[in-house]
Structure 1
Amino acid sequence: MKKWVVLLTCSLLMGLTAAALAQDNASLEERVRLLEKAIGGTEAGNSWWDRIQVSGLVEVEAYYQDADTADDSSDVDLATVELAVDARIIDHVDGHVLFKWEDDDLFVDEGFITLTGTDAFPAYLIAGRQYLPFGRFDTHFITDPNTLILGETNEGSLVAGCRIGGELVDLSVGAFNGKIEEAGEDNHVDGFVAGVTAQPFEGLTLGASYISSLASSDAFSEVITDRNGDGDIDPVEDFVGGWSAFVTFEFLDRFRLIGEYVSALDEFEAGEVYIDTDPDDRKPAAWNAEFGVMIVEDLELAVRYGGSDDGADFLPEKQYGAVINWGVFSCTNLALEYLHDEYEDDVEETDTVTAQLAIEF
């Protein structure tokens, strides 16, 4: 009798243990399933780490400059560091952040959310800090072209657009609150930008754009004057719009031609730009033309001719030079550049030699 009781008791304990283990295993599997769901699953291409891409840029530069009205100068230093994070949130929703170190400052250069449409409705919306679709600013050179200095604009903005025929035509419009205000107006979103880019056939890209306030561009806004002497940049009497046109043509898998023009649509009043005692109205314009040839694989030679009107000492009236780009290793470029600048009214001439070592990852 005792033997049967012991056997029955053991069987009951084993059954309870097996049931408990089965329940624990089920709970464990459920917890794993929930965890996988929280981090995006484990299927290929669906994990959160597969939806984030990190890239970057490091540039080290050395230069020597010979100026006819100032002492010669030279330096070698870290010029730029960029770290970009791109995230695919879900289909049709992406995020982008670009951290940048430049001129001893660390800042967020770009940060925006992109909403994209479908193949049947190829529209998009970009919201956040971004470079406005004004100008193209293509270049082979280390030094920025005059067109970029006059027109490049980075602002918090909303930009909406539509792509027609894939990459055939891109139409975009945007709204922003610029750095420079109009006299007598409140601080509102009152800046507008519009652009069109077309690729009629492979190798050829051309376009035109408009901005309602050229004074809001990153560099040009810094030469709007303090006419009241209160230490703050003054509003302009009226917004002066700007326009841009560009063409980039690549042919025979070896040659690349770049041309661009950026100009104000009207004149700034005397004393509004450069210096407050300037007696002349100013209608600044800038242009840049470059021709590059791939001599052999990973070795490119390019020449530039550019200039400006009404640029004072802000933009060279005439600029020409050459650059050699050598892809030393994968994602590693060594460039050597020479530029000659001549400024308005023969105020100054400079000759500058710059070397740059850059890596991308």
Structure 2
Amino acid sequence: MDKRINLKMKPIVIATLISLTSSQVLLAGELSAKDIVTGITVSGYVQTEVRYNNDFNDVDSSDIVVDEINFTIDGQVHKFAKTTLSFKYEEDITPLEVDNAYLTLSSNSPLYLKAGQLYVPFGNFSTHMVSDSLTHFAETRETAVQLGIKNGGVYGSIYGFNGINNARNTIDHYGLNLGFSLLTKPYYNINKHNKNSTPKSFDMGIGYISDIGDADSLEGFLTNTVDYDYIDATNVYVNFSYGTFSFMGEYIAALDNFKSKHIAFNGTGAKIHAYDTEIGLNFNLAGYNTTVAIGYQVTEEALALQLPESRIIGILSTEIYTNTSLSLEYALNKDYSEDDGGTGKDSNSVILQLAVKF
């Protein structure tokens, strides 16, 4: 059977499940006036950076930039209904735009429903660093419907949307995720007089998406979608901390090759993989909450995305005031070999970031 026919059949099942289960969310029962809770919450952050870079061609550059501004408004219109609207700006990259715009419906059950423009839950992308990890290429923002469940430490969801090849005007892209998280005694809540109080956190999960070509960083390279086949992908991640030590790890992989006319590597269709591993240590430095971390990141067949083959990266970050951090990051990138179409050379970058969140 033709692959694209199979892909159309599966979203029908997902749409049916979302329709049936969202009815349970919406019809959870009549609520009394005391159940109605309203309010507006405003949050966001501003990140300004001083950057230095020595690229693969040994050309130096430096700049001062507004790395990112984010402004988020959460409107709690009902105990079980909330809207989220956020705006984002990145100097020289993203003009001021609507980043998220979705509503969330819940009930007394573990189920919830999200609908609107949102980041679908494919990939985790947790990092200690200032720079995005190399796995971040898979981040996907779409206008989607997501049906999820949270019960204790278990969480998961299914979602559907109309992807990059939307000429057919069908909701034929979909995905799912499943995970488990545990959090006990966060670092900032430790009772200093109780030596047995050790903060612990754990989060692991897996995910699947029917077409990684929908990822934001890939859409710019898929300008020609004639004869395009969906490239499904999977991800797995593990993040944990114990005391002042933390570890983050993630792996993202396409499960098939792109056609060479869409995204190529070394003369054939690319099959993109990436992983990220980091370890960090949190400690008190002269009365300031401080983190030092180091990471190692790798990509495979991602030259067309202008990503390095590997990266060694480290950071020192200090909270100089409440919700205000000063971070110094160094990264050593290695390009793909000349045989693979790269330069085979190294590049270096240094970033000093001042960030404030509210």
Same fold (TM over 0.5): yes
Distance 1:208 1:47, change over 3 A: closer
In structure 2, how many angstroms separate the alpha carbons of the residues matched to 1:45 and 1:328?
41
- How far residue 101 of structure 1 moved from its aligned partner, in angstroms, is 1.2
Give CA-to-partner distance per residue, 1:91-125, whole Å, 9 cap, x none. 1000100011123501000010000121xx21000
Contact (CA 8 Å) 1:214, 1:242: kept in 2 or not?
Answer: yes
- How far residue 45 of structure 1 moved from its aligned partner, in angstroms, is 12
Counterpart of 1:4?
Answer: none
- How far residue 235 of structure 1 moved from its aligned partner, in angstroms, is 3.9
In structure 1, how many angstroms separate the alpha carbons of the residues matched to 2:61 and 2:211?
35
Aligned to 2:135, the other structure's residue is in SS state: helix
Counterpart of 1:39?
Answer: none
Q: Residues 303-318 of structure 1: matches in 2 within 5 Å?
A: 303-313=294-304, 314-318=306-310
Task: Supply the AA of the counterpart residue of 1:256.
Answer: S
Counterpart of 2:88?
Answer: 100
Counterpart of 1:154?
Answer: 141
- How far residue 234 of structure 1 moved from its aligned partner, in angstroms, is 2.6
Which 5+ residue runs of structure 2 have no aligned equivalent? 1-32, 185-200
Counterpart of 1:191?
Answer: 173
Structure label with greater radius of gyration: 1
- How far residue 197 of structure 1 moved from its aligned partner, in angstroms, is 1.2
Task: Supply the AA of the counterpart residue of 1:237.
Answer: Y
Task: Supply the AA of the counterpart residue of 1:158.
Answer: V
Task: Supply the AA of the counterpart residue of 2:157.
Answer: S
Aligned to 1:223, the other structure's residue is in SS state: coil
Distance 1:336 1:235, change over 3 A: farther
Contact (CA 8 Å) 1:236, 1:272: kept in 2 or not?
Answer: no
Contact (CA 8 Å) 1:87, 1:95: kept in 2 or not?
Answer: yes
Does 1:322 find its partner at 2:333?
no
Of 332, 337, 340, which aligns to 2:324?
332
Which 5+ residue runs of structure 1 have no aligned equivalent? 1-42, 225-231
Of 343, 347, 350, which aligns to 1:353?
350
Of 238, 243, 252, which aligns to 2:229?
238
In structure 2, how many angstroms separate the alpha carbons of the residues matched to 1:288 and 1:236?
32
Contact (CA 8 Å) 2:37, 2:77: kept in 1 or not?
Answer: no
314-323 vs 240-249, which deviates more? Answer: 314-323
140-149 vs 193-202, which deviates more? Answer: 193-202
In structure 2, how many angstroms separate the alpha carbons of the residues matched to 1:329 and 1:45?
38
Counterpart of 2:164?
Answer: 179
- How far residue 236 of structure 1 moved from its aligned partner, in angstroms, is 5.2
Counterpart of 2:105?
Answer: 115
Aligned to 2:213, the other structure's residue is in SS state: helix
61-70 vs 137-146, which deviates more? Answer: 61-70
Task: Supply the AA of the counterpart residue of 2:176.
Answer: A
Distance 1:96 1:321, change over 3 A: same
Aligned to 1:292, the other structure's residue is in SS state: strand
In structure 2, how many angstroms separate the alpha carbons of the residues matched to 1:62 and 1:283?
35
Contact (CA 8 Å) 2:37, 2:76: kept in 1 or not?
Answer: no
Q: Residues 48-59 of structure 1: matches in 2 within 5 Å?
A: 51-59=39-47
Contact (CA 8 Å) 1:240, 1:264: kept in 2 or not?
Answer: yes
Contact (CA 8 Å) 2:258, 2:264: kept in 1 or not?
Answer: no
Counterpart of 2:336?
Answer: 344
- How far residue 46 of structure 1 moved from its aligned partner, in angstroms, is 7.9
Contact (CA 8 Å) 1:223, 1:274: kept in 2 or not?
Answer: no
In structure 1, how many angstroms separate the alpha carbons of the residues matched to 2:227 and 2:273?
18
In structure 1, how many angstroms separate the alpha carbons of the residues matched to 2:234 and 2:210?
9
Q: How many percent of aligned residue pairs carry the same amino acid?
A: 27
Runs of 4+ in structure 1 deviating by more than 4 angstroms, as ranges, are: 43-48
Of 69, 75, 92, which aligns to 2:57?
69
Question: Number of residues paired by the alignment?
Answer: 299
Give CA-to-partner distance per residue, 1:232-272, whole Å, 9 cap, x none. 433452101010000001102x0110000001011112221
Q: Residues 197-212 of structure 1: matches in 2 within 5 Å?
A: 197-199=179-181, 202=184, 203-212=201-210
Counterpart of 1:288?
Answer: 276
In structure 2, how many angstroms separate the alpha carbons of the residues matched to 1:47 and 1:91?
5
Aligned to 2:268, the other structure's residue is in SS state: coil
Aligned to 1:219, the other structure's residue is in SS state: helix
- How far residue 201 of structure 1 moved from its aligned partner, in angstroms, is 6.8
Contact (CA 8 Å) 1:180, 1:215: kept in 2 or not?
Answer: no
Distance 1:236 1:116, change over 3 A: farther
- How far residue 47 of structure 1 moved from its aligned partner, in angstroms, is 8.6
Contact (CA 8 Å) 1:268, 1:283: kept in 2 or not?
Answer: yes
In structure 2, how many angstroms separate the alpha carbons of the residues matched to 1:299 and 1:201?
21
Contact (CA 8 Å) 2:312, 2:331: kept in 1 or not?
Answer: yes
Of 262, 265, 280, which aligns to 2:255?
265
Distance 1:100 1:274, change over 3 A: farther
199-208 vs 188-197, which deviates more? Answer: 199-208
